[in-house]
Structure 1
Amino acid sequence: MLRTASCGFGWLAFAGIAQREALAAGNPLTAKATHFPGRAKRVIFISLRGGPSHVDTFDYKPKLNASTGQPGMRPGTKLLGSKWNFSQHGQSGLWISELFPYVAQHADDICLIRSMQTDFPAHPQAFLQMHTGTTQFVRPSLGAWAVYGLGTQNENLPGFVTISPPSDVGGAQNYGSAFLPAIHQATRIGSGQRPIANATVRNLAAKMPAGDQRRALDLIQAMNRESLARDVVNPEVEGVIESFELAFKMQVQMPGVLDLSGESATTKALYGISEGGSGRRGGGGGGGARFDSSPDDFGRKCLLARRLSEAGVRFVEIAGGNWDQHFNLATGHEANAAAVDQPIAGLLTDLKQRGLLKDTLVVCTGEFGRTPHAQGGDGRDHNHKAFTLWMAGGGVKGGYSHGATDELGYEAVENKVHVHDLHATMLHLLGLDHERLTYRYAGRDFRLTDVHGNVVKQILL
């Protein structure tokens, strides 16, 4: 009797394990093996929409400053030196503008790429290419590809979250999954037009007991699966089934992750979050809009990004301001920088203190740069031939500068890095080979970098 009973216990244990593995095998968000050991486990992508001026922020050009008023590279234009002083920071001596005094304190943690290029000097195309690798077709976003390749680290949370994305310049395409399974697209929190303090994730049936919700969902899912069985292949129904299950699980953990009330006053102050919050909008555009230099709103976004990443979300994107200053450069860039500088530095400090920076890749970029010549008296035009971004943590060299532009900052001339190369490098840091991360659709294998992209090995540890 004892021998038979003991075998029975073993069978019960085996049955439980087998069921869990079967469920995991059917869950597209289950963590997956990488192509090779990656240095980064997660990504925080800071998107500074509008094209911050590299020659006023992270690409020091003394020759440009000395040439103010001289004819520019385009007919009828005049060169405009930076209105802000640059100085060297950290043991590495990286040149950083006084617009970013807090980020400058992390000079030895960040890796500057000063030779970035993209294909088009127009916001919708450049923004889409930064996020999807292309400007011509609807393709999966960078975050969706990352989650497709890696899965998530928490089955109760989405693998990809975007915080306050802009509704224009491509809109949902920038965080969509296109032909990848719908479960890989981002969960959006907030919008670019509203303070994040007012954003919530609502439960569809918050007043219904969990047991009743589960029974109702089981009935709906049974009908969905019956429909799927008839159609054999139906991505829309598959997406509905997966999203309903994820939404049910999110009710347990997501509200707590989004609740900042439990964070200490010291932590909030680190991110520039004021008690009560400003509730105001971030930096405006280039057309004489009002600018808000308060770091409160962006600080909340950065703190949410840390909490989401720490909870197991694989890819988090944060949108910050509108840097498209064709005129009002001094007012606009100064306000925009003041709104994001302390929160970004606070994020780096917090990640570092928690031991998360070493395996969290932080990327901060716009979609292109600005011209060295003036526009509208006090402004700069679009420049897709040169811009600067920085990365930190996740296996990149800190205190390092890669590539260079010409002496006026008009065009990248040394170790050029295209957006395709950036994507290949980010995937590499996550342990994914960009040439092997493919998805078969419409009779061919697609990938984020299409037929392009080289890993920038010089910036890797």
Structure 2
Amino acid sequence: MQFPHPDLFDSGMTRRAALKSASAGFGYVALAGMLGQQLPKTARASEIAPLAPKKPHFTPRAKRVIFLFMQGATSQMDTWEYKPQLQANDGKVGPGGGTLTASKFKFSQYGETGTWVSELYPHVAQHVDKLCFLRGLHTDTPAHPQAVIQLHTGTALASLTRPSMGAWMMYGLGTENQDLPGYITINPPPNFGGAVNYGSAFLPAHFQGTRINDTGYLPNLQASAPFALQRKQIDLIQSLNRDLGRQPNAPDELDGVIQSYELAFKMQGKVPELLDISQEPEVVREAYGVKPGPAGSFARQCLMARRLCEAGVRFIEVCHPGWDQHNNLHQGLIRNSAATDQPTAALLADLHQRGLLDETLVLFGSEFGRLPTSQGPDGRDHNITGYPMWMAGAGVKPGFSYGATDEYGQHAIEGRMHTTDLHATLLALMGLDHELLTYPYAGREFRLTDVAGNVVKEIFS
């Protein structure tokens, strides 16, 4: 599908609470990055403008990340991993016990690389020569909540909530667009960690992700007061700050720079327009498979991700839940792939045509994979010992596979990558050294990869 050229196209309220309400949360996040323009020169740069663009540790290969998260664990041997031995030994006892179960879906080779892809993903299959497969991933826990949290924050330990990987990138790099948050998550799952997966934990709050939904509206915008009332709130804040500014103990810098929230207030008019995909030409919406209702949710998310990417958002996550298929595997895979195949392919094509794929890293995957053996009449259980993800775009080799699982797709045997290795590699692609990206808290220096993580340079272009 060819895309058109982009050129076608109450009085007791505290001041801080009122500010958050008046700027609808969205502008409040970006506001924190604008304050440096009017603060004393003696303040530290990190305190003055924490969201301003920062110099990376070394030359980055990618400017931004789009993470397509398939929550629930996609069955790899039915989608991206063709295993002839599994097909040939259907019904036999596997090496670790259990009944080996061949995939019911046909695999074919695509592209100049001859990469095997299931019939479930015919649209993405047309782009295999752009993809870089990581086939030797493994993680620590087979429980969804812990694994999802580990994928997003680097640890599954419940003793201390850690910052999400998007928050770490914001902390390390700042944002490209001071009118927008640098980290946006669309339709994040409410369970399996919830807000922990896009939170900032002990990092300052302005590094956390901003949650939106696939209809293009922010929850805070929907719940905000009428425009005229918001204007009265702002006028009240201005009056309060002018009075308090005359006192010996003046408020902190966020409350003191009253002019900045005027800009945040104005952003309410810009944000809905940016997220309104109805502005896109019909041919573009058709290419993504945009349709009304839940069936078109992922397509809307992908198109919104491209628009946010174009506007300079640093880290964007979109989510498709429902891959936890211990039963009804066959029909579940058909349903989920139908919802994600065309939009994913369209996103890759659209980014490529606009010249954005050369500076944007796309990551596609789940918290873990599935076993090659059956569970009940039509299901597969969790597998944390070997599963794939793929990347595309900035900084990675196209048409390349790194690592491998055994002949049945159960254990990673070559190019093994732990979740910490994935995080170290993602940070490196963004120009950040995972060992240097630290934050002092509770008497020690914390980092996304904790005390582990190796950068897999073999996949770098």
TM-score with structure 2 setting the length = 0.84
Q: How far 1:321 sits from its partner (Å)?
A: 2.5
Q: How far 1:220 sits from its partner (Å)?
A: 6.4
With over 3 angstroms needed to count, the CA separation of the structure-2 counterparts of 1:311 and 1:206, relative to structure 1, is: farther
Q: Does the 8 Å contact 1:360/1:393 carry over to 2?
A: yes
Q: Does the 8 Å contact 2:216/2:275 carry over to 1?
A: no
Q: Does the 8 Å contact 2:162/2:200 carry over to 1?
A: yes
Match of 2:275 among 258, 265, 273: 258
Q: Which residue of 2 aligns with 1:181?
A: 204
Q: Structure 1, residues 370-391: CA drift from partner, whole Å, max 9, x if none?
A: 0000001111000000111000
Q: CA RMSD in A?
A: 3.0
Distance in 2 (CA, whole Å) between partners of 1:148 and 1:223 is 34
Q: How far 1:411 sits from its partner (Å)?
A: 0.4
With over 3 angstroms needed to count, the CA separation of the structure-2 counterparts of 1:323 and 1:225, relative to structure 1, is: farther
Distance in 2 (CA, whole Å) between partners of 1:90 and 1:221 is 63
Q: Which residue of 2 aligns with 1:432?
A: 432
With over 3 angstroms needed to count, the CA separation of the structure-2 counterparts of 1:436 and 1:101, relative to structure 1, is: same
Aligned pair 1:208/2:216, yes or no? no
Q: Structure 1, residues 189-229: CA drift from partner, whole Å, max 9, x if none?
A: 12xxxx646766517344228865643444567799999x7
State how 1:352-363 maps to structure 2 within 5 Å: 352-363=352-363
Distance in 2 (CA, whole Å) between partners of 1:262 and 1:24 is 42
Q: Which residue of 1 aligns with 2:113?
A: 92
Match of 1:268 among 279, 282, 285: 285
Q: Does the 8 Å contact 1:94/1:401 carry over to 2?
A: no
Q: Which residue of 2 aligns with 1:114?
A: 135
Distance in 1 (CA, whole Å) between partners of 2:428 and 2:228 is 45
Q: Which residue of 2 aligns with 1:8?
A: none
Q: Does the 8 Å contact 1:24/1:30 carry over to 2?
A: no
With over 3 angstroms needed to count, the CA separation of the structure-2 counterparts of 1:247 and 1:71, relative to structure 1, is: farther
With over 3 angstroms needed to count, the CA separation of the structure-2 counterparts of 1:110 and 1:249, relative to structure 1, is: farther
Q: Structure 1, residues 313-337: CA drift from partner, whole Å, max 9, x if none?
A: 1111001121010011100011101
With over 3 angstroms needed to count, the CA separation of the structure-2 counterparts of 1:339 and 1:18, relative to structure 1, is: closer
Distance in 1 (CA, whole Å) between partners of 2:246 and 2:185 is 33
Q: How far 1:249 sits from its partner (Å)?
A: 5.5
With over 3 angstroms needed to count, the CA separation of the structure-2 counterparts of 1:386 and 1:224, relative to structure 1, is: farther
Distance in 2 (CA, whole Å) between partners of 1:316 and 1:33 is 20
Distance in 2 (CA, whole Å) between partners of 1:21 and 1:393 is 41
Q: How far 1:74 sits from its partner (Å)?
A: 4.2
Unaligned ranges ≥5, structure 2: 1-35
What is the one-letter code of the residue matched to 1:181? Answer: P
What is the one-letter code of the residue matched to 2:278? Answer: S
Aligned pair 1:342/2:342, yes or no? yes
Partner secondary structure for residue 431 of structure 2: coil
Q: Structure 1, residues 111-170: CA drift from partner, whole Å, max 9, x if none?
A: 011111010111011101100000003000011001111101111111111100111111
Q: Which residue of 2 aligns with 1:288?
A: none
Aligned pair 1:164/2:187, yes or no? yes
With over 3 angstroms needed to count, the CA separation of the structure-2 counterparts of 1:245 and 1:69, relative to structure 1, is: farther
Q: How far 1:256 sits from its partner (Å)?
A: 1.2
Distance in 2 (CA, whole Å) between partners of 1:46 and 1:84 is 23
Q: Structure 1, residues 346-372: CA drift from partner, whole Å, max 9, x if none?
A: 111111111000110100110000000
Q: Does the 8 Å contact 1:64/1:408 carry over to 2?
A: yes
Q: How far 1:39 sits from its partner (Å)?
A: 1.1
Q: Structure 1, residues 381-407: CA drift from partner, whole Å, max 9, x if none?
A: 000001110001121011001100000
What is the one-letter code of the residue matched to 1:49? Answer: Q
Distance in 2 (CA, whole Å) between partners of 1:434 and 1:311 is 26
Q: Structure 1, residues 54-85: CA drift from partner, whole Å, max 9, x if none?
A: 1111111010011110013444x200011111
Q: Does the 8 Å contact 1:121/1:383 carry over to 2?
A: yes
Q: Which residue of 2 aligns with 1:32?
A: 54
Distance in 1 (CA, whole Å) between partners of 2:241 and 2:163 is 26
Match of 1:150 among 173, 178, 181: 173
Partner secondary structure for residue 428 of structure 1: helix
State how 1:232-247 maps to structure 2 within 5 Å: none
Q: Does the 8 Å contact 2:176/2:314 carry over to 1?
A: yes
Q: Structure 1, residues 254-278: CA drift from partner, whole Å, max 9, x if none?
A: 111111121000110110013xx1x
Q: Does the 8 Å contact 1:158/1:246 carry over to 2?
A: no
Q: Structure 1, residues 430-450: CA drift from partner, whole Å, max 9, x if none?
A: 000000001111111100000
Q: Does the 8 Å contact 2:149/2:193 carry over to 1?
A: yes
Q: Does the 8 Å contact 1:151/1:159 carry over to 2?
A: yes
What is the one-letter code of the residue matched to 1:391? Answer: M
Aligned pair 1:51/2:73, yes or no? yes
Task: State the percentage of identical aligned residues.
Answer: 52
Q: Which residue of 2 aligns with 1:81?
A: 102
With over 3 angstroms needed to count, the CA separation of the structure-2 counterparts of 1:134 and 1:356, relative to structure 1, is: same
Q: Does the 8 Å contact 2:94/2:373 carry over to 1?
A: yes
Partner secondary structure for residue 166 of structure 1: coil
Distance in 2 (CA, whole Å) between partners of 1:219 and 1:123 is 50
Q: Which residue of 2 aligns with 1:303?
A: 303
Tell me how many residue pairs correspond in the alignment: 419
Which aligned runs of 4 or more in structure 1 are off by greater than 6 angstroms? 220-227, 229-233, 243-246
What is the one-letter code of the residue matched to 2:221? Answer: R
Q: Which residue of 2 aligns with 1:139?
A: 162
Q: Does the 8 Å contact 2:420/2:449 carry over to 1?
A: yes
Q: How far 1:252 sits from its partner (Å)?
A: 3.9
Q: How far 1:244 sits from its partner (Å)?
A: 7.0
Q: How far 1:426 sits from its partner (Å)?
A: 0.5
Answer with 306-315 or 125-134: which moved more. 306-315
Distance in 2 (CA, whole Å) between partners of 1:440 and 1:336 is 42
With over 3 angstroms needed to count, the CA separation of the structure-2 counterparts of 1:245 and 1:108, relative to structure 1, is: farther
Distance in 1 (CA, whole Å) between partners of 2:131 and 2:244 is 48
TM-score with structure 1 setting the length = 0.84
Unaligned ranges ≥5, structure 1: 1-16, 281-293
Partner secondary structure for residue 38 of structure 1: coil
Answer with 19-28 or 133-142: which moved more. 19-28
What is the one-letter code of the residue matched to 2:285? Answer: K
Distance in 1 (CA, whole Å) between partners of 2:96 and 2:75 is 17
What is the one-letter code of the residue matched to 1:215? Answer: D
Q: Which residue of 2 aligns with 1:61?
A: 83
With over 3 angstroms needed to count, the CA separation of the structure-2 counterparts of 1:378 and 1:18, relative to structure 1, is: closer
With over 3 angstroms needed to count, the CA separation of the structure-2 counterparts of 1:220 and 1:149, relative to structure 1, is: farther
Q: Structure 1, residues 256-310: CA drift from partner, whole Å, max 9, x if none?
A: 1111121000110110013xx1x13xxxxxxxxxxxxx4x211100011111111
Q: Does the 8 Å contact 1:189/1:201 carry over to 2?
A: no
Distance in 2 (CA, whole Å) between partners of 1:96 and 1:443 is 49
Q: Which residue of 2 aligns with 1:369?
A: 369
